[in-house]
Amino acid sequence: MMKVFTKVALTLVIAANISLLGFIAQMGGLLQLPLMLMVIAYPIALVAALAWPIQYWKKNGWNSFAPLAILIVGGILLIPSYWTGHKLRDSIFWRHLPKYQAVVGRITDGTIPITNSFEVLQLSRSEAPRSYRVFVYRQTNDILAVVFLTGGAFPVKHSGYMYYSGDRVEKTSAARRAWPRGDMITNHWYEIGD
């Protein structure tokens, strides 16, 4: 029984770290499901691992702490998994940035005409990689915001990247109201979320 619980704890640690890394790298509903299962299973396993030495101390001695130790170390390893997921997401952005810039260039030079203050663009996957929707805001002061939605999660959360032609996104701008969470990545480019 001891070996089985130790293997379960190890499997749970590996699954939790992989699901967190995958979800952070590319937010999406299918990637969120395993993470949600881990959020439920991990605390249950921790409680069981805390009770395990009490039950099996006489039989297994210090070995009865193995599942608890594995879960604690695995929990600590979630921190580098989180940051690795962010680094992976950043590298995906930088790899696709030239194609995103090409779309923005086509909008600003008029190749892709924008006639309204808000438009959803129909672009192919090759034109806007990893983007499931691209839309454009043109504000009254002629500032352009192009949003590339690349991820989403439950409940109704969206994430992606935004090109903003102004110097910086003002707190009162339509872009900031639509995307309250956002960090500048490089000049005119932001990672966004709602």
Domain boundaries, the chain: 2-88, 94-193
Residue 101: partners with Cβ closer than 8 Å, 6 or more residues away: 163
Distance (Å, whole) CA 95 – CA 106: 19
Buried/exposed code over 31-62 (b: 16+ C-beta within 10 A; e: otherwise): bbebbeebeeebeebbebbeebbeebeeeeee
Residue 176 banded pLDDT, cuts 50, 70, 90: confident
Tens-place pLDDT, residues 54-66: 887 778 788 888 8
Mean pLDDT of 120-149: 87
Give yes or no for residue 174 having a pLDDT over 80: no
The DSSP call for residue 164 is E
Distance (Å, whole) CA 194 – CA 175: 11
Provide the whole-model pTM: 0.77
Distance (Å, whole) CA 58 – CA 191: 54
